[in-house]
Structure 1
Amino acid sequence: MCSCYKKIMQLVLVVTLALQSVVQAASFVDVLDLPAKPSALASRSPLLDLAHAGQRLVAVGQRGHILYSDDNGKRWQQAVVPVSSDLNAVYFPTAEQGWAVGNDGVVLHSSDAGATWSKQLDGRQIGDLMFKHYTALALAEPDNEQWAVLAADGQRLIEEGADKPLLDVWFANDKLGYAVGMFNLILRTEDGGRNWTPFQDRTDNPQDFHLNAIASTGDALYIAGEQGLVLKWDDSHRRFAALETPYQGSYFGVVGQPGEVLVYGLRGHVLRSTDGGVNWVRLDSGLQVSISAALLDSRGHYRLFTQAGHTLLTDDSNSKLRLAAQTDPSPIAGATLAADGALVLVGSRGVRALPVEEQ
């Protein structure tokens, strides 16, 4: 083969690769700008959380999938969602108004009980939001070094891009709410999500541990995080104050009722407090697998669920756990009870509803 022919073939290869790169670049659409695709298999795709919107059930999961059911989880419809980012959590403080959060710093809002959604915030904006907020505070209080550090964190987030996972969301009503996520990322809104305020300076979390979950027990608001982190809202000091717990592993969730709170997480650990988090007692789950979801039933008892599909039930005093019989176990990421008493679960295999008689 002559050298001229080789050069021609090399040139053709270079041009072909260049054209492929151009085509790929032209066809790329950021998941934050790509609406979730309708799928007949959405209810069997991985789902990570679900909530009540009045009598309706709403579930969220990967690729921006949001589903809703008006018949206690028997049939599901796919919602209209403007992003394809994975969604990690959903919460409805009222029957109509709800919020969902997920990867890429995305915050979605629905005003029609979860049928349609709009984007309020994403990770491309969060860094700039932090930088401007804490720069303004640094200018107002130049002697306070904390503001400069947090402003620098905001600049770093701008440079890193949109990848800022939000892991949970909670709203007190249709105005006041929080979104929490990795590396102490926490945002607060007082106007239903139209504006968000960075809240990193209001947490006792100097090591920037992940904030995995936020939930109210009816008389207190708690955040559970990694490496034993549990925070409680202190209204007098307007901040989330750290509580001491006897376990230094990660907590994945909080559940409770007035006068009682449970935190749960890694390797089957469950801790219970009946004095606002001052003292904690470990509830023996008998498991070494992580607990990933929980609910409070109508009798005031708890059900906890694991990443391997186990179900744990508390006794009448909520001081002991027992393992329920397993049928077709699969990883569970979220759970709730439907209006008819059915147990509705979401996880890696999608959504399933267990009738009352099968629980």
Structure 2
Amino acid sequence: MMVKLLSSVAALLLTTHIQAESAVAPTPSYLMPLAEKAVLTDLIQVNDQLYVAVGDRGHLLLSKDSTSWTQVQTPVQSLFTSVYFSDEKHGWAVGHDATIIATQDGGQSWQLQQFKPETDKPLFDILFADANNGIALGAYGMFYRTTDGGKTWLDEFHLELVGSEDQEYLKELQESDPEAYLDERSSVLPHFNRIYQHNNVLYLIGEAGFFATSTDFGKSWTRHPEFYNGSLFGLTMTPKNSLIAVGLRGHVFRSTDLGQSWQQIQLAQTATLNSVLTDSAGHLYLTGNAGTLLVSQDDGVSFSAMPTQDSKAILNAVAVKDQLVLVTEAGIRTLAIKKPE
């Protein structure tokens, strides 16, 4: 069973030893007075008057101004890892126990769409093309798709995402022992950590340098050669069309040809990096463990450290006007963005 160490939130989210829930039936989250100071893992700015943050124990918080937050009850106490909205009304959150919850009223109420503690696996990310078509993915190659807004989620397996050395083995096993083939499928795929869309291209990253792309919303994929042998946790496209990928031990990679080739960016620190984002001015920010927060003003060619309040792990952030709103292992923090001189 996984030990939850607050000093290493990335390990809590991405370890291969996933905590199993003892109860099969879901238990609604508790409304806690200090929920905004608990472990929070992801947030999204839906519009100028709706911000949503998620985290441990089924916590989900809403804000109209990114400053004052109100907790909303959810159907589970699982740790949430990602939240996504396709429009102002329709949103989803995913997490441990292969959990998926959804809202149709802008986050005021949430309904359970999937809860599978028997899988002993977490979902790590979710993405929707519109209010009906979505993808949820996570540990050990978990991949679910919906075409009806999440009323039904169907498991998918994409052979093209398997390493070339395992593809022939699976093909032979499927013919000789179909039952063993189904069991083996779950052991040959890496963790899918993050899915990102830019224009009509999906970018998928994961452990052991896994990197793949799709141009048909994940119906078919191209797996690209690994450019790093460690896990990747965050990916974004800059306003100047550079792809930035971040991961374990402070590794940062930059691509100016849409992922065909990558250049490693050297940093002075080695803390694991959890996410990457941009602001309206085109500045690039990296968040990471041990209070790591870095900024680039040259399209990711170089980064400098930004001072933070403490050494708490920062899991993600959004840029709101002249501030960064951070979700951390100690809750929500805000940090003023210093304008360049």
TM-score normalized by the length of structure 1: 0.76
Out of 105, 123, 130, the position equivalent to 1:173 is 130
Deviation at residue 323 of structure 1 after TM alignment: 2.0
Aligned to 2:167: none
Cα separation, 2, equivalents of 1:287 and 1:205: 33
Shift, 1:184, TM fit: 0.4
1:92 maps to what in 2? 85
Q: 1:234 to 1:280 in 2, by over 3 A?
A: same
Evaluate the alpha carbon distance shift between residue 276 and residue 356 of structure 1 in structure 2; reply closer, same or farther with a 3 A threshold.
Answer: closer
CA RMSD of aligned residues (A): 2.3
Are positions 1:305 and 2:298 aligned together? no
Q: Does the 8 Å contact 1:230/1:245 carry over to 2?
A: yes
Indicate yes or no: 2:60 matched with 1:103: no
Deviations 1:74-105 (A, max 9, x none): 21101121111111110112111111000001
CA contact (8 A) 2:244 2:300 kept: no
Shift of 1:311: 1.2
Match of 2:53 in 1: 59
Instruction: Tell me the SS of whatever aligns to 2:87.
Output: coil
C-alpha distance in structure 2 between counterparts of 1:291 and 1:32, whole Å: 35
Q: Does 1:45 align with 2:38?
A: yes
Aligned-residue offset at 1:246:
2.3
Q: Does 1:71 align with 2:65?
A: yes
Q: Which residue of 236, 244, 248 maps to 1:262? A: 244
State how far apart, in whole Å, the 2-side matches of 1:86 and 1:237 are. 26
1:279-324 deviation digits (Å, cap 9, x = unpaired)? 1111112221100122111122210011111111123343222222
Q: Where do 5+ consecutive residues of structure 2 fail to align? A: 1-20, 164-187
Q: Tell me which residue corresponds to 2:9.
A: none
Correspondence for 2:152 among 195, 200, 207: 195
Q: Is residue 344 from structure 1 mapped to residue 338 from structure 2 by the alignment?
A: no
**Partner SS for 1:63:** helix
Name the aligned partner's letter for residue 144 of structure 2: L
Determine the C-alpha separation between the residues in 2 that align with 1:32 and 1:260. Answer: 45
How far the C-alpha of 1:249 sits from its partner, in A, is 0.5
Q: Give 1 or 2 for the bigger CA radius of gyration.
A: 1
- Alpha-carbon separation, structure 1, partners of 2:243 and 2:286: 13
Letter in 2 for 1:104: D
Whichever residue aligns with residue 34 of structure 2, its letter is L
Q: Identify which of 260, 268, 275 aligns with 1:286.
A: 268
Q: Which amino acid aligns with 1:222?
A: Y
Aligned partner of 2:155: which letter?
Answer: P
**Paired amino acid for 1:277:** G
Q: Deviations over 1:221-266 (max 9, x none)?
A: 1111000101111439941221224211110111114733111100
Match of 1:112 in 2: 105
Q: Residue 243 in 1 paired to residue 217 in 2? A: no
Spell out, residue by residue over 1:138-170, the C-alpha distance to the aligned partner (whole angstroms, 9 max, x if none). Answer: xxxxxxxxxxxxxxxxxxxxxxx2422101111
Q: Give CA-to-partner distance per residue, 1:309-351, whole Å, 9 cap, x none.
A: 111112334322222234433210111123x432111111011
**Counterpart of 2:168?**
none
Partner of 2:334: 353
Task: State the distance in 2 between where 1:237 and 1:213 align.
Answer: 13
* Higher normalized helix content (fraction of residues): 1
Secondary structure, aligned partner of 2:88:
coil
Determine if contact 2:235/2:246 at 8 Å carries over to the other structure. yes
Going from structure 1 to structure 2, the CA distance change for 1:198 and 1:77 (only over 3 Å counts) comes to: same
The change in CA–CA distance for 1:43 and 1:242 in structure 2 (over 3 A counts) is same
Distance 1:257 1:315 in 2: 11
Query: 1-side partners of 2:120 and 2:218: how far apart?
Result: 32
Q: Tell me the percent identity.
A: 33
CA change 1:83–1:238 in 2 (3 A) is closer
- Between the aligned partners of 2:199 and 2:64, the Cα distance in structure 1 is 26
User: Structure 1 residues 110, 177: closer, same or farther in 2, change over 3 A?
Assistant: same
Matched residues, number? 294
The answer to whether the Cα contact below 8 Å between 1:202 and 1:239 also exists between their aligned partners in 2 is no
Residue 225 of structure 1 corresponds to which residue in structure 2?
A: 206
Shift of 1:117: 0.6
Distance 1:117 1:182 in 2: 24
Pair 343,208 (structure 1): closer, same or farther in 2 beyond 3 Å: same
Hey, what does 1:216 align to over in structure 2?
A: 197
Letter in 2 for 1:273: S
- The change in CA–CA distance for 1:276 and 1:202 in structure 2 (over 3 A counts) is farther
Q: Which amino acid aligns with 1:309?
A: G
- Assess if the C-alpha contact under 8 Å between 2:233 and 2:247 holds in 1: yes
Q: Distance in 1 between matches of 2:299 and 2:26?
A: 49
Q: Alpha-carbon deviations, 1:11-59, whole Å to 9, x = none?
A: xxxxxxxxxxxxxxxxx98375211001001011111111122221101
> Match for residue 16 of structure 1?
none
In 2, the alpha carbon distance for the partners of 1:347 and 1:270 equals: 20
Q: Which moved more, 1:328-337 or 1:228-237?
A: 228-237
Pick which of 213-222 and 109-118 moved more.
Answer: 213-222
Aligned equivalents of 2:104 and 2:35: distance in 1? 22
Change (3 A) 1:257 1:178: farther
- Gap regions ≥5 residues in structure 1: 1-27, 125-160
